[in-house]
Structure 1
Amino acid sequence: MDCKTLEDFLGMHFIYTYDNGWEYELYVKNSHTIDYRIHGGMVAGRWVKNQEVDLVQLIEGVFKITWTEPTGTDVALDFMPCEKRVHGMIFFPKLGT
């Protein structure tokens, strides 16, 4: 599998599970849009299509996708497809004052 350039990364499909057991599925549609589904966890069943994202190649074989949900939640994912690794961070907005 070619997975070192941004061109290689576009069109890839991933299914990954976090350490806490939450399973996600993500399809990189193009350089600015993804589709994703959540199969496990608090929001299991959620399916988002045409999510606008910022997508960059950090170094050869490492890609970052970030976006902000309508709820204000920020998501940052680092993909290393050649190594079959994903690292993700989710930042939830502070509620109240």
Structure 2
Amino acid sequence: MPLNPATSETTTAFKSDLEDRHLIYDYAVQPCSSNNGREEKWRYEMWFYSASRIVYAIHGGPMAGRKNFQAATYQCIRPGELWQVNWLEETGTICSLVYDLPRGKITTLLGFSRGHWERSEEARGDKRNPGDLERWRGLARIGDQRERVLLSEQADIVEDFWGSGELEGIEEEWETM
């Protein structure tokens, strides 16, 4: 069930609000000990590819250099205003993103697996490379559910357009996990 609820209203809203939409956004990460007391910009790129898939790339922050695509579920909170998108990564990381269309904001909760968080360099690469995918799957086996790192952040959208941009397309039947 990639679209929730799957009604004629939400299907129509998805087509006009999200389908084939491409966002580039920056998280302004506040100063803390892990970034030496400096504010940082973490740049992410998200393409809402279809009603069942997302494609993304990470350009800044500890996960920079990651290119991925995932099976996703979309939940319409308010057509034309708020959407929630959720997915599980092969690294064991749980992702939940809320897109506030009128305000141009992204709000996320990420539940990083211990392996993904502690070995972020190993989470880099491109899922289309079988070696990268297998390495990422190995990250999910490090630690257990209680050792997740929860990260809640908000981002400002800096670009909003339709189409692939510089991201590569995928086939719907490609394995995501």
TM-score (norm 1): 0.86
Moved over 4 A (4+): none
What are the residue-to-residue correspondences of 1:7-86 with 2, within 5 Å?
A: 7-8=15-16, 9-20=18-29, 21-49=41-69, 51-60=70-79, 61-86=81-106
Whichever residue aligns with residue 41 of structure 1, its letter is G
Higher relative contact order (CA 8 A, sep 6+): 2
Which secondary structure does the structure 2 equivalent of 1:22 belong to?
strand
Deviation at 1:22, TM superposition (A): 1.0
Residue 64 of structure 1 aligns with an amino acid whose one-letter code is: Q
Aligned partner letter, 1:59: R
Task: Mark the structure with the bigger radius of gyration.
Answer: 2
Taking only aligned residues, the RMSD between alpha carbons, in angstroms, comes to: 1.8
How many Å apart are 1:93 and its aligned residue? 2.7
Q: One-letter code of the match for 2:14?
A: L
- Which has a greater percent of strand? 1
**What does residue 14 of structure 2 align with?**
6
Which structure 1 segments of 5+ residues have no match? Answer: none
Residues 30-54 of structure 1: CA deviation (Å, up to 9, x unaligned): 11101000000111111113x1111
Q: TM-score, normalised by structure 2?
A: 0.49
Q: Deviations over 1:6-30 (max 9, x none)?
A: 2211111000111212110000011
Gaps of 5+ in 2: 1-12, 30-40, 115-142, 148-177
